[in-house]
Amino acid sequence: MSRGWTRWLPLITGVLFVALIAVGVALTWNTPDTKDSATKVLAYYQAHKHRVMGGSYLVALSLFFGLFFFGALRGWLRRDPRTERLASVAFGGAILFAVAGGLIAGSGFALADNPQVMSAQAAQALNTMSSDLAAPLLLAGLGVILFATGLAIVCAGLLPRWVGWLSMVFGVVSLTPIGWVMMIALALLVLIVGARLARGDTAGGGDTPSMPAPPPEAPAGV
């Protein structure tokens, strides 16, 4: 029973990660721009404090499940010697992504905690930090996850090669000004890998066969 639960854990945590972060981002999507006036920024958070607080909480909660999923992804990639180092690189990207998400969620908590007693200038500064401070970490983490996982898929045939090549392309796009759109690509990759692991395909199954087992040792004295 425990083995079956372990098999389903990546899919469960992956689905929860994607669902929670999608709802959290949707709730906080229309936050003020960095070019908006301080008065407009403060008025927004005073009027939408509960929505921002709820969205920030869901983003933070998604990171909990996300790290469990990416830990499972690291274990899956490490099963093949050809992708062992890429597994560590991809998990490093997941840590960067989680740190960025934590900074964004923390800024949202700070803005929505008690905006009635916050000055307009303080609200504007926190809003700018929420938008810009975590962006480099978020895009770097996103790009590393997608590119390293895609390269591992291509090298070891863990999934169809086109999935790996697309993931690598999306990883490069993540480093551009429109990189945040690749959150959608990350969500799809998480769901695909989670479904593959739930099926019990832990040793490849893509276009390239897994590495053959070494031949048995000859009996002593032969």
Could you read off the pLDDT tens digit of each residue along the chain, which spans 222 residues? 445 667 888 999 999 999 999 999 999 888 888 888 899 989 998 898 999 999 999 999 999 999 999 999 999 999 888 899 999 999 999 999 999 999 999 988 988 888 888 888 988 888 888 888 888 999 999 999 999 999 999 998 888 899 999 999 999 999 988 888 899 999 999 999 999 988 875 444 444 344 444 555 555 554
Rounded Cα distance, 64 and 143, in Å: 20
pLDDT at res. 170: 95
Cα-based torsion angle of the residue sequence 7, 10, 13, 18 in order, rounded to the nearest 10 degrees: -140
* Chain segment 148-198, per-residue pLDDT in tens: 999 999 998 888 899 999 999 999 999 988 888 899 999 999 999 999 988
Angle CA 69–72–74, to nearest 5: 110
**pLDDT at position 131:** 81
> Residues 6 or more apart from 46 whose CB is under 8 A from it?
115, 116
| Beta strand extents in 97-203 (DSSP E only) | none
Beta strands in the chain (DSSP E): none
Q: Would you state the pLDDT for residue 201?
A: 56
Structure-block tokens of residue 166 = 């697309």
At 98 the pLDDT is: 95
For the chain, the first-to-last Cα distance in angstroms comes to 44
Supply the pLDDT for residue 186.
Answer: 93
- Tell me how crowded residue 54 is: count the other CB atoms within 10 A of its CB: 17
User: For the chain, what is the total number of helices (H) and then of strands (E)?
Assistant: 8, 0
**Are the beta carbons of 158 and 205 closer than 8 angstroms?**
yes
